[in-house]
Amino acid sequence: MRDWLVAGALLEGPEGLLLVCNRRRDGSVDWSPPGGVIDEGETVLEGLSREVHEETGLLVTGWERKVYEIEAHAPDMGWTLRVEAWLASGWDGHVRFDDPDGIVEAAAWVDRDTCGRRLGDGPPWVAEPVLAWMLDRWSEPRRFAYRIDGDQRGSMLVTRV
């Protein structure tokens, strides 16, 4: 069983929330907040700051608070995912693309309605927490948990637990 620790960044500007467009290995595309896998030896915020910079060119100058956590368990695919999503309090720079992983190919600042449409093609464990937070700005971190059955993208059964 592979265990992943991932962090996601919630960066809000005047035009809305920053989302990145990800091109997956199978050629599919989905949108998500910037972020990624936390490397061995990094703290969550160190890794998240690195990932935001790699994916967007932005340098986060501060983190306000953890907004939510996600746990997703996919026994048929042999992995468990834990995600921490943090709200950025500031950043510098301009959005650019130089993702060393070659996954991020675009970014957009999106309002709530556009965010829902962009996240709609991605996994529910990405979309639901982001959209819930955009609708109900809670102050204490919330937890979301999912079980993913199946091993094919088009036929997976995702259950919120």
* Tokens matching residue 95: 């959005």
CATH architecture of 2-160: Alpha-Beta Complex (3.90)
Query: H helices then E strands: how many in the chain?
Result: 3, 10
Q: What does the pLDDT look like over 114-125, one tens digit per residue? A: 999 999 888 999
Helix, strand and coil percent figures for the chain, each rounded to 5: 20, 45, 30
Quick check: 94 and 57 in contact, CB under 8 A? yes
Q: What does the pLDDT look like over 35-92, one tens digit per residue? A: 999 999 999 999 999 999 999 999 999 999 999 999 999 999 999 999 999 999 999 9
Q: Where are the beta strands (DSSP E) in the chain?
A: 2-10, 12-13, 16-23, 29-32, 35-37, 59-74, 79-92, 104-110, 142-149, 157-160
Q: What does the pLDDT look like over 82-108, one tens digit per residue? A: 999 999 999 999 999 777 888 899 999
Domains of the chain, by residue range, sit at 2-160
